[in-house]
C-alpha cells in the first residue's frame, strides 16, 4: 500500500506535486503558510513554550509556600502569578496543544492532503499567538490579571477590580476561544469530508474520533465563556450591571456561565489525550484496540454528560439541595464511560503482547495517575464531602492528577510517539526514561501531599500560611517534587533538541503502527501522500491487502483534494485548496487591534471593524476560473481503477 507501481498514464509526477504543495521558504512564506503540518508544528512549539513558562511560575509559587510566613512574594505578585499559571496552563497550553496534535495528525490519519479551511487554520494560530503575547506583555507591564484563572466578580468587577487587569484576562479569553472554535470547525469538516475512500465511520481511528468529540464540545462550550468574559468587560467598561446584585444583577450568573464552559473545558483537554492513549496502547500491544465501539461511545457520552456537571463547582454557594443532587448524580455517572475506557485499554494489553518503549511508558504513568485523579473526582462529586474540601488543596491535588495524569502524560507519550513522524528522527530512549521517572516521581511528590493538605484545612490561593497550622512539612515536600518535575521537563527539551540531528533515522513506520500517518515518509512530504490512500479496515497498515487501491487522477499542478461522503467515505467531488496567502495574518492583526482596543473604549469595536473588514475582503476575494477557484470538480465515475487497468471514462 505504500508507494505502488502505477501504470504510466496514472503515474504521479512527484516533483511537480511537491512543488505545488510547497508553501515556500523565507520569512514571507513562513508568515503566509497554510500547510497544516507547518502550522501544527508552530502550535506545538508555542504551546510547549507556554507550558514551560507556566511551570516556572508554579515553581516560584512552590518556593514561596515552602515554609510558613515566607516573604519571597507579597500578595500582589503571588496573586498575579497563580492567575497567570492557571490561565496559561488552561487557555494557552492545554487546549491549544491538543488542538495542535489534531491539526497535525487528523489530516494524516484520514489520508488527506491538508486540513480543511487552511487559511482559517493559519488565522487561528495567529490569534492564539497574539492572545498569548497580549496577556504576557500585560503581565510584564504589571497590568496582568490577578484574580485567578476563573476571575469571579464582584472581585473582578468594576468596583473591586480597578485598572485593566480583569479586562486583559477577559479579552485573552476571546482570542483563544476564537482560535479554538476555528480549529474545531476545521477538525470536524476534515474528519467528515476529507477521509480516504473506504474509511467509513466504523473505520475512523480512535484519535480522530476523540478530536471530533472534542471539537463539538468546543463549539458548544466556548460561547458560554465568551458571554461571561464579554459581559464582564461590559460591566467594567460601559456600566452594565450583569453581575452587580445592588442593581439587579447576580454574581452567580458569572459562575454558571463560566462553569458551563469550564467543566466541558477539562474534557476538551482530556478526550484528545484518551485518543492518544488508545492509539499508543494498540500500537504497543501489537493488536487492534479492544472494544472500539465501546471506546467511541464512551468518548461521545463523555462529550454529552460533560455538559451536565458544571454546578459541582458551585456546591458551596447555597443553591437548593435538590438541584445539587442532580449534579452529584451526573458527576458520579461520568466515571462510568471513563472506567469503561480504562477497562478496554487494559483488555487490549491483556489480549496482546506489550512492549514498553517510551510512548508506552508514559501511557502506563497515565494509568496510575489518572485513576487516582478519577477516584478523587468521584469523592468531590459528593456534596457533603465537597463542602469540606472545595476550594482547598484537595481540589488542587485532584485536578492536577487528572490534568497532568490524564493529559500531560498521554501528551508526552504522544510527543515521543509522533516525534519520529514529525522530524524523521527517533528520540533517545535513555533520556526519555529519565524524563519519565523524574517527572512521575516529582509529580507524585508534589501533588499527593496536597490531598492531605486540603483535608488538614489549607485553602487554595493563599500566598502564605501561619506556622501553627502545621502545613509546612507537606508544602516543603511538594517543593522538592517540583524540582524533580523541572528536571524532567528539561530532559525532554534536551532530548527533543539534540535528537533533531543526532537521533536515529526513523523511517516510515518505526513503531510498526497501523494508522495512515505511518503510511508515508517521516517527515511526510508537502502533499502528505504522493498517492492518497484508500482503506478497507480500521487498521490500514496491518489489515489492508497489499494491492489496496490508491486515489489517482488528481491534478499535480494545483492543490487538488478529493472530498468524500460523510458516512461511507465514497468519493464525492474535488476541490482546489488555497495557496499560501498573507491575508490570514493580516486579518489576525486587525482583529487583535479590535480586541485590544475594545478593553479601553467601546468605540474600538466600531473603528476596529474597518481594518478587519478590509482584510476579510482580501481573504475572500474570489478567484477566477482559470486560477482554479473553488468550483467543485465533479468526478465522472465512482469506481477506482485497479492498477493494471485503464480508467473507464478517463480522468481529466
Partner 1 sequence: MSPATVAQSVLDAAGPQAAAIEGLWWLIFWISVGVFAVVMAFLTWAVVHRSDRPTSDSSLTRWVIGGAGATVVILFVWLVASVWVGRAVASPQMSNAVTINITGRQWWWQFEYVDTLPSNRFRTANEIHIPVGRPVVVNVTSRDVIHSFWVPNLHGKRDLIPGYTTALWFQADQPGRYRGQCAEFCGYQHANMAMYVIAEPDNDFQAWLSAQRQPAAEPGTERQQRGREVFLAATCPQCHSIRGTLAGASFGPDLTHVGSRSTIGAGVLPNTAENLIRWVRNPQDFKPGNKMPAHDLNDADLQALADYLGSLK
Q: Pattern 40-79, binding to partner 1, x per CB under 8 A?
A: ----------------------------------xxx--x
Which of 344, 427, 486, 531 forms a contact with partner 1 (CB under 8 A)?
344
Query: Can you give the length of the chain in residues?
Result: 652
CA distance 307 to 610: 37
**Which CB, 466 or 649, lies closer to partner 1?**
466
Is residue 616 near partner 1 by the rule CB under 8 A?
Answer: no
DSSP, collapsed to helix, strand or coil, labels residue 308 as helix
Percentages helix, strand, coil for the chain, rounded to the nearest 5? Answer: 65, 5, 30
Question: What is the nearest approach in angstroms of partner 1 to the Cβ of residue 155?
Answer: 4
* Distance between CA atoms of residues 277 and 426, nearest Å: 19
Q: Which is nearer to partner 1, 232 or 268 (CB)?
A: 232
Q: Does 462 bind partner 1 (CB under 8 A)?
A: yes
Cell 510558613, located at residue: 68
Please report whether residue 245 would count as binding partner 1 according to CB under 8 A.
yes
Nearer to partner 1, 25 or 353 (CB): 353
Strand order in the sheet with 633-634: 560-564, 571-576, 633-634
Which one of the spans 204-212, 223-231, 302-310, 312-320 is the region binding partner 1 (CB under 8 A)? 312-320
- Binding residue for partner 1 (CB under 8 A) from 336, 480, 566, 567? 336
Task: Decide: is 543 part of the binding site for partner 1 (CB under 8 A).
Answer: no
- Residues 400-459 binding partner 1 (CB under 8 A) are 454-457, 459
Radius of gyration of the chain from its Cα atoms, rounded to whole angstroms: 25
As measured in angstroms, the least distance from the Cβ of 203 to partner 1 is: 18
- For partner 1, the binding residue among 7, 59, 154, 643 (CB under 8 A) is 154
Comparing CB distances to partner 1, the nearer of 381 and 562 is: 381
469 scored as a contact of partner 1 (CB under 8 A): yes
Among residues 143, 378, 431, 582, which is the contact residue for partner 1, using CB under 8 A?
Answer: 378
Residue with smaller CB distance to partner 1, 39 or 453: 453
Q: CB 396 → partner 1: shortest distance, Å? A: 13
389 sits near partner 1 (criterion: CB under 8 A): yes
Counting residues that bind partner 1 (by CB under 8 A) gives 88
Shortest gap between Cβ of 368 and partner 1 (angstroms)?
7
Q: Return the C-alpha cell found at 257.
A: 456561565
The answer to whether 142 contacts partner 1 (rule: CB under 8 A) is: no
Among 38, 328, 446, 495, binds partner 1 (CB under 8 A): 328
Choosing from 134, 175, 267, 290, the residue that interacts with partner 1 (CB under 8 A) is: 290
Nearest to 383 by CA among 457, 312, 330, 454: 312
Residue 475 makes CB contacts below 8 A (sequence gap 6+) with: 62, 65, 66, 67, 449, 453, 465
Torsional sign, CA 571, 574, 579, 582? negative
For partner 1, which stretch binds (CB under 8 A), given 1-9, 341-349, 431-439, 561-569? 341-349
Phi, psi for residue 333 in degrees, rounded to 5 = -60, -35
Beta bridge partners of residue 571, listed in sequence order: 564
Neighbours of 320 (CB within 10 A): 7
Among 9, 461, 500, 623, binds partner 1 (CB under 8 A): 461
Asked whether position 202 contacts partner 1 by CB under 8 A, the answer is: no
Hey, which residues between 482 and 511 contact partner 1 (CB under 8 A)? Answer: none
Near partner 1 in 551-580, by CB under 8 A: none
Between CA 475 and CA 479 the distance in angstroms is: 6
Alpha carbon of 157 to those of 81, 245, 251, 459, 515: distances in Å?
20, 12, 10, 23, 50
Kindly report whether the peptide bond that precedes residue 523 is cis, defined as omega within 30 degrees of 0.
yes
CA atoms in the 13 A half-sphere facing the CB of 210: 28
Q: Is 325 in the site for partner 1 (CB under 8 A)?
A: yes
Amino acid at each position: 500500500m505504500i508507494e505502488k507501481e502505477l501504470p504510466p498514464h496514472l503515474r504521479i509526477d512527484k516533483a511537480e506535486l511537491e512543488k505545488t504543495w510547497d508553501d515556500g521558504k523565507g520569512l514571507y512564506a513562513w508568515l503566509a503558510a497554510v500547510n497544516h503540518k507547518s502550522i501544527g508544528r508552530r502550535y506545538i512549539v508555542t504551546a510547549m513554550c507556554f507550558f514551560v513558562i507556566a511551570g516556572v511560575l508554579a515553581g516560584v509559587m512552590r518556593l514561596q509556600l515552602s515554609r510558613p510566613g515566607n516573604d519571597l512574594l507579597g500578595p500582589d505578585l503571588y496573586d498575579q502569578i497563580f492567575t497567570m499559571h492557571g490561565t496559561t496552563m488552561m487557555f494557552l497550553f492545554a487546549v491549544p496543544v491538543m488542538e495542535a496534535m489534531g491539526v497535525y495528525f487528523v489530516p494524516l490519519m484520514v489520508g488527506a492532503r491538508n486540513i480543511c479551511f487552511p487559511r482559517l487554520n493559519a488565522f487561528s494560530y495567529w490569534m492564539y499567538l497574539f492572545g498569548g503575547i497580549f496577556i504576557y506583555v500585560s503581565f510584564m507591564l504589571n497590568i496582568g490579571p490577578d484574580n485567578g484563572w476563573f476571575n469571579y466578580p464582584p472581585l473582578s468587577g468594576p468596583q473591586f477590580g480597578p485598572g485593566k487587569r480583569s479586562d486583559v484576562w477577559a479579552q485573552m479569553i476571546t482570542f483563544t476561544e476564537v482560535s479554538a472554535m476555528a480549529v474545531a470547525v476545521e477538525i470536524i469538516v476534515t474528519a467528515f469530508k476529507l477521509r480516504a475512500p473506504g474509511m467509513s465511520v466504523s473505520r475512523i481511528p480512535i484519535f480522530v474520533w476523540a478530536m471530533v468529540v472534542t471539537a463539538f464540545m468546543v463549539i458548544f462550550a466556548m460561547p458560554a465563556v465568551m458571554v461571561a468574559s464579554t459581559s464582564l468587560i461590559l460591566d467594567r467598561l460601559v456600566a452594565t450591571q450583569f453581575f452587580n446584585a445592588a442593581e439587579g444583577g447576580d454574581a452567580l450568573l458569572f459562575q454558571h456561565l463560566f462553569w458551563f464552559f469550564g467543566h466541558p473545558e477539562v474534557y476538551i483537554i482530556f478526550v484528545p489525550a484518551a485518543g492518544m492513549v488508545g492509539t499508543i496502547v494498540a500500537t504497543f500491544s501489537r493488536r487492534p484496540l479492544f472494544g472500539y465501539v465501546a471506546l467511541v461511545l464512551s468518548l461521545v457520552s463523555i462529550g454529552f454528560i460533560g455538559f451536565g456537571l458544571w454546578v459541582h463547582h458551585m456546591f458551596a454557594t447555597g443553591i437548593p439541595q435538590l438541584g445539587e443532587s442532580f449534579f452529584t448524580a451526573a458527576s458520579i455517572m461520568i466515571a462510568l464511560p471513563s472506567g469503561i475506557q480504562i477497562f478496554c485499554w487494559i483488555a487490549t494489553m491483556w489480549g496482546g503482547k506489550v512492549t514498553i518503549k517510551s510512548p508506552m511508558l508514559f501511557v502506563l504513568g497515565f494509568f496510575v495517575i489518572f485513576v487516582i485523579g478519577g477516584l478523587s473526582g468521584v469523592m468531590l462529586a459528593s456534596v457533603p464531602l465537597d463542602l469540606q474540601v472545595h476550594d482547598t488543596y484537595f481540589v488542587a491535588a485532584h485536578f492536577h492528577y487528572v490534568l497532568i495524569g490524564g493529559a500531560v502524560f498521554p501528551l508526552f507519550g504522544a510527543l515521543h510517539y509522533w516525534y519520529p513522524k514529525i522530524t524523521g528522527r527517533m528520540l533517545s530512549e535513555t533520556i526519555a526514561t529519565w524524563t519519565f521517572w523524574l517527572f512521575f516521581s516529582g509529580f507524585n511528590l508534589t501533588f499527593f501531599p496536597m490531598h492531605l493538605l486540603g483535608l488538614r484545612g489549607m485553602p487554595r490561593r493563599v500566598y502564605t500560611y501561619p506556622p501553627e497550622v502545621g502545613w509546612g512539612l507537606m508544602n516543603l515536600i511538594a517543593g522538592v517534587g517540583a524540582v524533580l518535575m523541572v528536571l524532567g521537563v528539561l530532559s525532554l527539551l534536551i532530548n527533543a533538541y539534540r535528537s533533531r540531528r543526532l537521533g536515529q533515522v526513523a523511517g516510515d513506520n518505526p513503531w510498526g503502527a497501523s494508522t495512515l500517518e505511518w503510511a508515508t515518509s517521516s517527515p511526510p512530504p508537502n502533499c502528505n501522500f504522493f498517492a492518497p490512500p484508500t482503506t478497507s479496515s480500521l487498521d490500514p497498515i496491518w489489515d489492508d491487502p497489499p494491492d489496496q487501491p490508491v486515489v489517482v487522477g488528481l491534478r499535480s499542478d494545483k492543490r487538488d483534494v478529493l472530498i468524500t461522503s460523510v458516512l461511507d467515505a465514497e468519493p464525492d467531488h474535488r476541490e482546489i485548496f488555497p495557496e499560501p496567502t498573507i491575508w490570514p495574518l493580516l486579518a489576525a492583526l486587525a482583529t487583535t487591534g479590535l480586541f485590544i482596543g475594545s478593553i479601553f473604549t467601546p468605540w474600538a469595536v466600531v473603528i476596529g471593524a474597518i481594518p478587519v473588514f478590509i482584510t476579510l475582503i482580501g481573504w475572500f476575494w474570489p478567484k477566477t476560473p482559470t486560477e482554479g477557484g473553488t468550483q467543485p470538480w465533479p468526478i465522472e465515475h465512482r469506481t477506482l481503477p485497479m492498477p493494471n487497468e485503464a480508467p473507464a471514462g478517463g480522468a481529466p
